[in-house]
């Protein structure tokens, strides 16, 4: 935007003759909604087409479910990270909160003997409270840098997880409910629980962002905090709430991971926060806040999943995943810049 | 010397310039004027090689030349002093001035020679400072003049000043103009882009007017006047610029008693009645913005009280002030007023959302469209991102939001800064409508003519304290200036 400061009125628009339809026409709106991830979708389609043609077992319902299922917890934490990034923040502590939540859950059930039905909401709320206080308050209220704070809480939570677990993986094999959350079926095996849960979280998040006042406020706070504050919005509370959401969803992801592995490992989820960041950024969410969508985040996460899955099926070294993902990430941000650069001058 | 013919430039679907012709002769000072968005900056960027035109050609001394970079244009003697600062703040003043021609021996910068070489250019613009000092240590007026020195170091034949005076105070503008006059005597031409019509009358040999990306005509030195330039820019006659109407005053809506602002030097008291405009005048740093922002709940109240429509404001925060019936149009509309990446409709609705509620999108759009019609915002529809609007239209969006909260008192901080004449007139017209609807207005402005034109009373601030209050009938530019400078007005005189 600053690259070319010219702000130009469309010539020939005569104010006196204006009579307004209330809105843009629907093709315009549809395009405006789709444009931010047009690039990602086309790469994703090409990729899927390639794997479909070359690998017969790629385009099967089972394999697509498999992609969703293995990436369910990634989708869940990416939803939380999207909220944080929309308000102009970042959460590096995700991986730590995920493992700490898993370990705490295991300890609550096995050592403290708390019933599963109580332990699950307790862990999610606890993770949310941790996000709100340790990340949100220190960043939004005390004004510390999100990078420093969440790097600190990442190290803290990982350390705490190791401490509580005594460095050992906590067995959860006998906990049916937890295992169901991580790998069970909803009614039929065609609907794996983690995938359903992840999509549910995503849809609820998307509805909140799109239709509620809270969603509007999230975008406003990320887009221009000062303008939002002067318009009477409590920006501190909104920022804290975003970190709380990220924390709570990391807690949920921790439970899902523990269920999938039937155990809570204190050193799992390595680099999860960066993978999530890649998904969110691929999905077109701005790093400085104020713009982005959860549909984009889903596409970003699916892209990562498809690349990984396709490489495995094609028996290509999975190490290529990082190379491909990184390249596409930079290209997509570049494409977005070019698109916005053009839009900004009009 | 420099001739641009039929220059056309498009950005996406928008045509910024449509077949514009321009000519600058040696030693001539040409003013380029037009409303925001008329294409002035685009044209100056094309002439200086920052942008390339889609159609048309630029000729220098009869030879067609297409600059593909600012460096090429510089080589041909065309130097641009851009609208925004382009200096490197952490480098020395001398390095900035000589940026493109830093003397180097065997890869080592010769600092002493650098300073010696930069000195004459600094002298030429009258900046007295150590050339080895860091650029960021300069005061703002000097920074701008160092930018000019940098342009001079290229020994240009044509210097383009894009809104260079907008950040300068009166005395610095004078310094800049004496440089331009000296350059004119030496045969160097200047293309001056400015919003201030008085400057054009003062210095330009010729004024070229752009409107909506087309040439709207030109005026020679003898023909130039404020009125003619304004009506050419807007494309119609400006009849009653301030739209001042006679409105009977009602009850007091805002009562400020012994208010002391942060860093204030004394109590400030005033009241504003329904239908009344109170002006806040004063020099930069006199505390105009501080007073408005304190009333609006953005800055803390050190002492004193604020009553709105008789009720004391207790919740001292932006939200509390809004609830009590105050609305502020802030000084920095991009930084404080708008979420640039969101639509007009959302910006109008900003702050009205209930956290737990569902947004009525249809109503939001309808209200956005109503604002567009009522405030004559130039935009195709309410879904347009506000970043794409020109300054005046952005200001109207901020105003639309303030009005949507149904305030009793409207606080305007520099409402006309950086917006074009036509938009100014419309804002004054809207102010008249609001007063008729029974609002009270407090308006801070550094444009004395505007204050004199629209205010019923003017409160003059000096050093964050009250210096005096003048009624419409006995306010003059001289009296305001005197009070602003800390003097006393003798009412008998």
Closest CA to B151 of B203, B199, B115, B189: B189
- Residue A20 to residue A64: CA distance in whole angstroms: 46
Closest CA to B328 of B289, B364, B278: B289
CA atoms within 13 Å, Cβ hemisphere of B326: 35
CB within 8 Å of B349: residues ≥ 6 apart? A216, B359, B364, B367, B368, B401, B404
**Partner residues linked to B23 by β-bridges:** B3
Give whole-number Cα distances, B331 to A8, B136, B288, B345, in Å: 22, 24, 10, 21
Q: Average of pLDDT values for B453-460?
A: 92
3-state secondary structure of B421: helix
Cα torsion through B361, B367, B368, B371, rounded to 10: 180
Residue in this structure with the two tokens 């009412």, named with its chain if needed: B491
DSSP assignment string, A235-252:
HHHHHHHHHHHHHHHHHH
Q: Residues of B235-251 as b/e, b for ≥16 C-beta within 10 angstroms?
A: eeebeebbbbeebeeee
**What pLDDT does B97 receive?**
86
Contact B110, B119 (CB under 8 A): no
Q: Do B378 and A13 touch (CB under 8 A)?
A: yes
Q: Average of pLDDT values for B380-401?
A: 88
Q: Do B353 and A217 touch (CB under 8 A)?
A: yes
* Most confident listed range (A227-231, B11-15, B114-118, B122-126): A227-231
Backbone φ and ψ of B224, nearest 5°: -65, 130
pLDDT in tens, A116-175: 999 999 999 999 999 999 999 999 999 999 999 999 999 999 999 999 999 899 999 888
CB within 8 Å of A276: residues ≥ 6 apart? A74, A77, A78, A81, A94
Residue B491: is its pLDDT beyond 60? no
pLDDT-derived band at A12 (thresholds 50, 70, 90) equals very low
Residue A176: is its pLDDT beyond 60? yes
3-state secondary structure of B298: coil
pLDDT-derived band at B12 (thresholds 50, 70, 90) equals low
Q: Residues of A250-275 as b/e, b for ≥16 C-beta within 10 angstroms?
A: bbbbbbbbbbbbebbbbebbeebbeb
* Most confident listed range (A246-255, B130-139, B289-298): A246-255
pLDDT-derived band at B212 (thresholds 50, 70, 90) equals confident
CA atoms within 13 Å, Cβ hemisphere of A105: 36
Residue in this structure with the two tokens 């709105």, named with its chain if needed: B308
Residue A207: is its pLDDT beyond 60? yes
Suggest the residue from B163, B354, B381 to mutate for an interface test with chain A (most A CBs closer than 10 A).
Answer: B381
B285 C-beta neighbours (distance < 10 Å), count:
13
Q: Average of pLDDT values for A294-306?
A: 93
Question: By mean pLDDT, which of A322-336, B331-345, B363-377, B435-449 is the weakest?
Answer: A322-336
Which residues of chain A are within 8 Å of residue B47 when distances are taken between CB atoms? none
Contact B325, B309 (CB under 8 A): yes
Residues in chain B, total = 493
Q: Average of pLDDT values for B463-491?
A: 82
Q: Do A18 and B388 touch (CB under 8 A)?
A: no
Contact A259, B349 (CB under 8 A): no
Residue B242 vs residue A24, higher pLDDT: B242
Pairing relation of β-strands B277-281 and B440-444?
Answer: parallel
**What pLDDT does A23 receive?**
62
- Residue B409 to residue B411: CA distance in whole angstroms: 7
Q: Do B383 and A344 touch (CB under 8 A)?
A: no
Q: Closest Cα of chain A to B42: distance in Å?
A: 7
Which residues of chain B are within 8 Å of residue A6 when distances are taken between CB atoms? 11, 16, 41-42, 45
How does DSSP classify residue B78? E
Instruction: Report chain A's mean pLDDT, rounded to a whole number.
Output: 87
Q: Average of pLDDT values for B40-52?
A: 86
Residue A195: is its pLDDT beyond 60? yes
Residue B75 vs residue B272, higher pLDDT: B272
Suggest the residue from A88, A217, A231, A245 to mutate for an interface test with chain B (most B CBs closer than 10 A).
Answer: A231
Q: Average of pLDDT values for B49-56?
A: 87
3-state secondary structure of A15: helix
Pairing relation of β-strands B465-471 and B457-462?
Answer: antiparallel
- Residue B50 to residue B45: CA distance in whole angstroms: 5
Suggest the residue from A15, A227, A245 to mutate for an interface test with chain B (most B CBs closer than 10 A).
Answer: A227
- Residue A209 to residue A202: CA distance in whole angstroms: 10
Q: Residues of B40-64 as b/e, b for ≥16 C-beta within 10 angstroms?
A: bbbbbbbbbbbbebeebebebeeee
* B16 → chain A, closest CA residue: A8
How many contacts, defined by CB atoms under 8 Å, are there between A and B?
A: 180
Q: Average of pLDDT values for A8-25?
A: 47
**What pLDDT does A33 receive?**
74
Is B369's Cβ below 8 Å from some Cβ in A? yes
**What is the largest distance, in Å, between two alpha-carbon atoms of chain B?**
78
Q: Which helix (H) or strand (E) holds A189?
A: strand A188-192
Q: Which 390-419 residues of chain B touch chain A by CB within 8 A?
A: 390-391, 393, 401
**Partner residues linked to B398 by β-bridges:** none
- Residue B44 to residue B81: CA distance in whole angstroms: 10
| pTM (two decimals) | 0.74
* B350 → chain A, closest CA residue: A231
pLDDT-derived band at B108 (thresholds 50, 70, 90) equals confident
Q: Do B319 and A15 touch (CB under 8 A)?
A: no
Q: Token digits for B130?
A: 């150590």
Give whole-number Cα distances, B117 to B87, B103, B132, in Å: 18, 9, 12
pLDDT in tens, A232-248: 999 999 999 999 999 99
pLDDT in tens, A29-42: 777 777 777 778 88
**What pLDDT does B493 receive?**
41
Residue A114: is its pLDDT beyond 90? yes
**What pLDDT does A346 receive?**
34
**What pLDDT does A221 receive?**
95
Sign of the CA dihedral with A154 first, then A155, A160, and A165 last: positive
**What pLDDT does A341 receive?**
61
Question: By mean pLDDT, which of B309-313, B355-359, B412-416 is the weakest?
Answer: B355-359
pLDDT-derived band at A9 (thresholds 50, 70, 90) equals very low
**Which strands sit side by side in the sheet containing B311-312, from one edge to the other?**
B268-273, B252-260, B303-308, B311-312
**What pLDDT does A15 receive?**
41
Q: Closest Cα of chain B to A18: distance in Å?
A: 7
Residue A302: is its pLDDT beyond 80? yes
Backbone φ and ψ of B419, nearest 5°: -115, 160
Backbone φ and ψ of A270, nearest 5°: -65, 130
Q: Token digits for A321?
A: 């995943």
Q: Token digits for A139?
A: 């960043």
* B39 → chain A, closest CA residue: A8
DSSP collapsed to 3 states, B228-271: HHHHHHHCCCCCCCCCCCCCCCCCEEEEEEEEECCCCCCCEEEE
Residue in this structure with the two tokens 């130009």, named with its chain if needed: A8
Q: Do B322 and A11 touch (CB under 8 A)?
A: no
Q: Closest Cα of chain A to B187: distance in Å?
A: 30
Which residues of chain B are within 8 Å of residue A24 when distances are taken between CB atoms? 380-381, 383-384
Closest CA to A66 of A188, A197, A201, A190: A190
Residue A5: is its pLDDT beyond 60? no
Give whole-number Cα distances, B363 to A23, A212, B274, B338, B372, in Å: 11, 14, 30, 20, 14
**What pLDDT does A119 receive?**
95
Closest CA to B68 of B76, B147, A340: B76
| Percentage of chain B exceeding pLDDT 70 | 95
Contact A86, A219 (CB under 8 A): yes
**What pLDDT does B88 receive?**
83
Question: By mean pLDDT, which of A308-312, B140-144, B330-334, B344-348 is the weakest?
Answer: B140-144
Contact B24, B189 (CB under 8 A): yes
- Residue B441 to residue B254: CA distance in whole angstroms: 9
Contact B383, A247 (CB under 8 A): no
Pairing relation of β-strands B214-220 and B206-211?
Answer: antiparallel
Rg (CA), chain B: 25
Residue B462: is its pLDDT beyond 90? no
3-state secondary structure of B158: strand
Pairing relation of β-strands B277-281 and B457-462?
Answer: parallel
pLDDT-derived band at A17 (thresholds 50, 70, 90) equals very low
Residue A136 vs residue B51, higher pLDDT: A136
Residue in this structure with the two tokens 């969101």, named with its chain if needed: B342
| Percentage of chain B exceeding pLDDT 90 | 28
Give whole-number Cα distances, B195 to B201, B306, B336, B365, in Å: 12, 37, 23, 34
CB within 8 Å of A323: residues ≥ 6 apart? none
Instruction: Report chain B's mean pLDDT, rounded to a whole number.
Output: 86
């Amino acid at each position: 935007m600053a690259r070319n400061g010219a702000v130009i009125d469309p010539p020939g628009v005569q104010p006196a003759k204006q009579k307004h339809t209330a809105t843009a026409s629907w093709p315009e709106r549809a395009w405006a909604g789709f444009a931010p991830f047009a690039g990602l979708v086309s790469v994703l389609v090409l990729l899927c087409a390639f794997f479909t043609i070359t690998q017969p077992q790629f385009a099967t319902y089972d394999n697509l479910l498999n992609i969703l299922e293995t990436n369910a917890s990634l989708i869940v934490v990416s939803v939380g990270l999207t909220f944080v990034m929309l308000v102009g923040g970042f959460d590096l502590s995700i991986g730590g909160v995920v493992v700490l939540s898993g370990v705490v859950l295991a300890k609550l059930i096995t050592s403290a003997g708390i019933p599963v039905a109580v332990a699950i909401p307790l862990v999610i709320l606890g993770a949310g409270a941790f996000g709100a206080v340790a990340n949100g308050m220190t960043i939004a209220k005390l004004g510390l840098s999100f990078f420093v704070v969440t790097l600190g809480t990442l190290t803290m939570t990982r350390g705490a997880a190791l401490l509580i677990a005594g460095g050992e993986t906590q067995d959860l094999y006998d906990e049916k409910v937890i295992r169901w959350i991580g790998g069970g079926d909803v009614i039929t095996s065609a609907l794996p629980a983690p995938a359903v849960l992840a999509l549910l979280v995503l849809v609820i998040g998307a509805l909140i962002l799109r239709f509620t006042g809270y969603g509007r406020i999230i975008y406003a706070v990320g887009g221009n905090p000062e303008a939002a504050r002067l318009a009477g919005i409590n920006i501190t509370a909104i920022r804290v709430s975003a970190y709380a959401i990220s924390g709570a969803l990391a807690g949920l992801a921790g439970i899902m991971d523990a269920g999938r592995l039937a155990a809570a490992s204190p050193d799992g989820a390595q680099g999860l926060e960066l993978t999530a960041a890649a998904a969110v950024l691929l999905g077109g969410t701005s790093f400085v806040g104020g713009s982005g969508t959860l549909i984009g985040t889903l596409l970003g996460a699916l892209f990562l999943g498809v690349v990984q899955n396709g490489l495995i099926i094609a028996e290509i070294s999975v190490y290529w995943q990082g190379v491909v993902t990184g390249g596409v990430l930079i290209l997509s941000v570049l494409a977005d810049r070019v698109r916005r650069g053009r839009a900004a001058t009009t | 010397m420099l001739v641009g013919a039929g220059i056309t430039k498009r950005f996406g679907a928008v045509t910024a310039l449509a077949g514009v012709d321009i000519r600058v002769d040696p030693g001539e000072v040409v003013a380029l004027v037009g409303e925001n968005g008329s294409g002035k900056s685009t044209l100056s960027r094309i002439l200086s090689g920052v942008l390339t035109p889609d159609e048309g050609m630029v000729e220098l001394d009869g030879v067609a030349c297409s600059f593909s970079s600012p460096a090429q244009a510089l080589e041909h003697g065309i130097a641009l002093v851009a609208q925004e600062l382009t200096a490197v703040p952490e480098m020395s003043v001398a390095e900035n001035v000589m940026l493109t021609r830093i003397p180097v021996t065997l890869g080592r910068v010769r600092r002493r020679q650098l300073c010696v070489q930069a000195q004459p250019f600094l002298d030429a613009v009258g900046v007295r400072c150590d050339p080895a000092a860091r650029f960021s240590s300069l005061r703002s007026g000097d920074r701008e003049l160092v930018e000019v020195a940098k342009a001079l170091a290229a020994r240009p034949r044509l210097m383009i000043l894009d809104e260079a005076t907008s950040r300068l105070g009166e005395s610095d503008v004078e310094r800049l103009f004496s440089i331009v006059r000296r350059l004119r005597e030496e045969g160097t031409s200047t293309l001056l882009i400015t919003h201030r019509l008085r400057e054009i009358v003062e210095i330009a040999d010729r004024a070229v007017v752009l409107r909506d990306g087309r040439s709207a005509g030109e005026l020679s030195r003898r023909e130039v006047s404020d009125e003619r330039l304004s009506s050419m820019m807007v494309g119609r006659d400006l009849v009653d610029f301030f739209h001042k109407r006679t409105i009977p005053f009602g009850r007091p809506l805002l009562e400020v008693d012994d208010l002391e602002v942060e860093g204030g030097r004394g109590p400030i008291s005033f009241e504003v009645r329904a239908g009344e405009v109170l002006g806040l005048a004063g020099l930069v740093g006199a505390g105009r913005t501080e007073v408005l922002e304190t009333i609006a709940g953005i800055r803390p109240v050190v002492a004193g009280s604020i009553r709105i429509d008789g009720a004391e404001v207790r919740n001292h925060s932006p939200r509390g002030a809004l609830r009590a019936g105050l609305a502020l149009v802030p000084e920095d509309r991009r930084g404080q007023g708008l979420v640039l990446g969101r639509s007009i409709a959302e910006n109008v609705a900003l702050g009205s959302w209930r956290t737990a509620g569902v947004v009525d999108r249809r109503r939001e759009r309808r209200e956005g469209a109503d604002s567009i019609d009522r405030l004559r915002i130039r935009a195709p529809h309410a879904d347009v991102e506000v970043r794409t609007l020109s300054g005046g239209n952005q200001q109207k969006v901020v105003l639309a939001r303030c009005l949507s909260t149904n305030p009793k008192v409207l606080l305007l901080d520099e409402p006309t800064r950086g917006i074009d004449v036509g938009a100014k007139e419309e804002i004054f017209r809207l102010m008249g409508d609001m007063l008729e609807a029974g609002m009270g207005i407090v308006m801070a402005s550094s444009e004395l003519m505007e204050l004199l034109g629209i205010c019923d009373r003017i409160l003059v601030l000096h050093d964050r304290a009250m210096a005096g209050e003048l009624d419409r009938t006995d306010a003059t530019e001289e009296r305001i200036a005197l009070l602003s400078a800390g003097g006393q007005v003798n009412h008998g005189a």
